[in-house]
Structure 1
Amino acid sequence: MASILIVDDDAPIRAALRDILEEDGHQIREAANGHIGLMLYREAPADLVMTDVLIPKRDGMEVTLALTQEFLDARVIAMTGAVGDQNFLNVAKLFGARRVIQKPFTSEVIRRVVRFTLDH
Structure 2
Amino acid sequence: MGRILVVDDAAITRTMLRDILEKAGHTVTEAADGNAALAAFRESPVDLAFVDIFMPGKEGLATIKELLEIRPQLPLVAMSAGSTFTDTETLGWARSYGAKFTLAKPLRAETVLDTVRQALGG
Alignment TM class, shorter chain as reference: over 0.9
> Where does the alignment leave 5 or more consecutive residues of structure 2 unmatched?
none
Secondary structure, counterpart of 1:101 in structure 2 = strand
Q: Partners in 1 of 2:77 and 2:8 — Cα distance?
A: 12
Q: Partners in 2 of 1:30 and 1:102 — Cα distance?
A: 19
Secondary structure, counterpart of 1:55 in structure 2 = coil
Q: Partners in 1 of 2:76 and 2:116 — Cα distance?
A: 10
* 2:51 corresponds to: 51
TM-score for both structures, normalised by structure 2 = 0.94
Q: Identity over the aligned pairs, expressed in percent?
A: 35
Per mean C-alpha deviation after superposition, the further-off stretch among 76-85 and 18-27 is 76-85
Secondary structure, counterpart of 2:120 in structure 1 = helix
Q: Deviations over 1:40-83 (max 9, x none)?
A: 11111100010100012211100111111221221110000016
| 1:88 matched to 2:90 | yes
Question: Residue 72 of structure 1 aligns to which amino acid in structure 2?
Answer: P
TM-score for both structures, normalised by structure 1 = 0.95
Question: Residue 94 of structure 1 aligns to which amino acid in structure 2?
Answer: S
* 1:74 corresponds to: 74
Q: Partners in 2 of 1:29 and 1:50 — Cα distance?
A: 10
Question: Residue 27 of structure 2 aligns to which amino acid in structure 1?
Answer: Q
- Number of aligned pairs? 120
Q: How well do the aligned residues superpose, as a CA RMSD in angstroms?
A: 1.3
Secondary structure, counterpart of 1:119 in structure 2 = coil
> Where does the alignment leave 5 or more consecutive residues of structure 1 unmatched?
none
Which consecutive segments of 4 or more residues in structure 1 shift more than 3 A?
Answer: none
